[in-house]
């Protein structure tokens, strides 16, 4: 397996634009997670899915953020409209279960909003 | 509520020496796991070690071991014989049946 795949690796956009980050989890993993990493807040869990269903989105900062998982092999995190304070590295991770199983992280998407 | 606190934003250690990274947590879950992830400059997140809360024996993975004090809700990571490749950001985390939290990280510098 190629591991968790994220695209794009880098994204530079202007304030107000829509940004879509993509993730392909490891095949067979039932859980998918979206994280945001910043210097100030460290690694924050934004939302996670179990079998394509969003379970906990309490970490999503505001309504400008939305995440979907239309099938077991694809998820998106969308920011609309984007703001400079959204600049961060966004990670996607997948695992077999929530407890006890290793989460496998993608390489991350570095987002810069000008 | 569940929280994970890493009180040391930065630590340094001399090569070949031992260093301990601190982590405390708070959870209402009766069953949970604790873990440490390493993030080197490549940005890739790598699982270092994990501990099942119901197990009293501290987990060990080669040069990495934990000191799990359940009553004190403490889960520190000890790195023995530190190597240059250990230089990274280290994240402590906790996962229960319904939630998952990471700390803010500790940046470890290894001095040659």
> Which of B32, B35, B33, B11 has the alpha carbon at shortest distance from B21?
B11
CB atoms B95 and A99 under 8 Å:
yes
- Nearest residue in chain B measured CA to CA from A110: B43
Does any CB of chain B come closer than 8 Å to the CB of residue A96?
A: no
What was the pLDDT predicted at A102? 87
Convert B63-84 to b/e letters by CB count within 10 Å (16 or more is b). ebbbebeeeebebbbbbeebee
Burial class (CB in 10 A: 0-12, 13-18, 19+), A81: middle
How does pLDDT run along chain A (114 residues), one tens digit per residue? 689 999 999 999 999 999 999 999 999 999 999 999 998 888 899 999 999 999 989 899 889 999 999 999 999 999 999 999 999 999 999 999 887 788 999 999 999 999
Which residues are within 8 A (CB) of A39 and not within 5 positions of it... i.e. 6 or more apart? Answer: none
Q: What is the pLDDT of residues B52-78, one digit of tens each?
A: 999 889 999 999 999 999 999 999 999
Q: What is the pLDDT of residues B6-54, one digit of tens each?
A: 999 999 999 999 999 999 999 888 889 999 999 999 999 999 999 999 9
A29: how many CB neighbours lie within 10 A of its CB?
Answer: 19
> Which of A71, A76, A70, A102 has the alpha carbon at shortest distance from A90?
A76
What was the pLDDT predicted at B1? 62
Residues of A in contact with B5 (CB under 8 A): none
Q: Find which of B33, B95, B107 to mutate to test the A interface (most A CBs within 10 Å of its CB).
A: B95
Residues of B in contact with A23 (CB under 8 A): none
What are φ and ψ of residue A68, in 5° steps? -135, 155
**CA dist list (Å): B4 to A16, B26, B37:** 34, 7, 13
Q: What is the DSSP letter of B81?
A: S
Tell me the nearest-neighbour CA distance from B52 into chain A, angstroms: 7
What was the pLDDT predicted at A1? 66
Residues of B in contact with A35 (CB under 8 A): 102
Report angle CA B28, B34, B36 to the nearest 5 degrees.
140
Tell me the nearest-neighbour CA distance from A99 into chain B, angstroms: 6
Residues 30-49 of A with CB under 8 A from B: 33, 35, 41-45, 48
Does residue A42 contact residue B91 with C-beta atoms inside 8 Å?
yes
The rounded mean pLDDT for chain B is 93
- Residues paired with B3 in a beta bridge: B26
Residues 1-30 of A with CB under 8 A from B: none
What are φ and ψ of residue A43, in 5° steps? -105, 115
Which residues are within 8 A (CB) of A88 and not within 5 positions of it... i.e. 6 or more apart? Answer: A36, A37, A38, A110, A111
């Amino acid at each position: 397996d190629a591991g968790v795949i994220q695209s794009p690796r880098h994204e530079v956009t202007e304030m107000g634009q829509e940004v879509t980050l993509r993730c392909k989890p490891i095949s067979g993993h039932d859980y998918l997670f979206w994280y945001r990493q910043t210097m100030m807040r460290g690694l924050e869990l934004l939302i996670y899915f179990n079998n394509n269903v969003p379970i906990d989105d309490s970490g999503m900062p505001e309504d400008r953020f939305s995440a979907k998982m239309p099938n077991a092999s694809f998820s998106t995190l969308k920011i609309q409209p984007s703001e400079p304070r959204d600049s961060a590295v966004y990670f996607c991770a997948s695992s077999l279960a929530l407890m006890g199983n290793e989460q496998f992280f993608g390489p991350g998407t570095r987002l810069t909003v000008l | 509520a569940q929280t994970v606190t890493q009180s040391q934003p930065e630590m340094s250690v001399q090569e070949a020496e031992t260093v301990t990274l601190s982590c405390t947590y708070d959870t209402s879950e009766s069953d949970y796991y604790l873990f440490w992830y390493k993030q080197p400059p490549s940005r890739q997140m790598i699982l270092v070690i994990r501990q099942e809360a119901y197990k009293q024996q501290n987990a060990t993975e080669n040069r990495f071991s934990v000191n799990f004090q359940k009553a004190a809700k403490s889960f520190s990571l000890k790195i023995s014989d530190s190597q240059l490749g250990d230089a990274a950001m280290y994240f402590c985390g906790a996962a229960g049946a319904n939630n998952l939290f990471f700390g803010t990280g500790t940046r470890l510098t290894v001095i040659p």
